[in-house]
Amino acid sequence: MIGIIAALTLRQLLGRGRTILLGLVALLPILLALVYRIGSEDTDQSEWVAQVLYDGLVVTILLPLLAVVYGTAALGAEIEDGTAVYLLAKPVSRAKIIFGKLLAAWALTSVTVLVSALVAGAIGLQGVPGHGLLVGFAIALVAGSLVYSALFLMLSVFTSRALIAGLVYVFIWEGLINGLFAGTRLLSVRHYTLAVADIFVDLPRGVFDAKLGSVPAVVLMIAVAGGSVWYGIRRLQRFEIGEST
């Protein structure tokens, strides 16, 4: 049943104009890498890919943007337009609904961001050693996609303004506040993702430094993803059709 729910959700998400728009957004890292390769010859390629392409664009902007749109729409769109009643009225456990929706949002987010990041990274690193950048960030992006998707899916069950709340978290909390106060990194999925990538990346600290230990990052990833799924299930179990969230 989880697979059926995931497949139906994928069809729903892919059938919307948002997919075309997000696909165009996912082309930005590739275009940026092409521009860099054409016009910049003095910059260290590994440093540029790690700091500008991956940290500055893919992890900070592209990944959370994809996740917040797909994660909040996977179930939130059905709740908003009233079609969730047909799913919730069926004899299907709320846990299976959450896991099916999460699987769809995670798959779309991770595949889209992976294709964009790997193609852009390969262009940016052409002709030089990768120092584990492609492998490290590929693994980190898949893990980060799961945590973000679980978090934003939970938000869609908690509030009808999940998209707005998710964007505030991404651009205000992670984009602004995390840069001002070091302690807030413990509550940042972005920093968890960078710390996972740092496990595999073999570059000097002056070039790439995740600023958060890998063990705390992995533990916090599991805690946030697990907690979001648990709360989403609990909230959906108490959810009444027609209630205002």
pLDDT in tens, the chain (245 residues): 788 888 888 888 887 677 788 889 999 999 999 999 887 666 788 889 999 999 999 999 999 999 999 998 888 777 766 666 667 777 778 888 899 999 999 999 999 999 999 999 999 988 788 888 999 999 999 999 999 999 999 998 888 788 898 888 888 888 777 766 667 778 889 999 999 999 998 888 888 888 888 999 999 999 999 999 999 888 887 765 544 44
Q: CA-to-CA distance for 109 and 137, rounded, in angstroms?
A: 14
What's the CA gap between 49 and 81, in Å, rounded? 42
| 169-to-66, 138, 189, 194 alpha-carbon distances in Å | 14, 23, 10, 17
Q: What is the pTM of this model?
A: 0.89
Cβ(106)–Cβ(133) below 8 Å: no
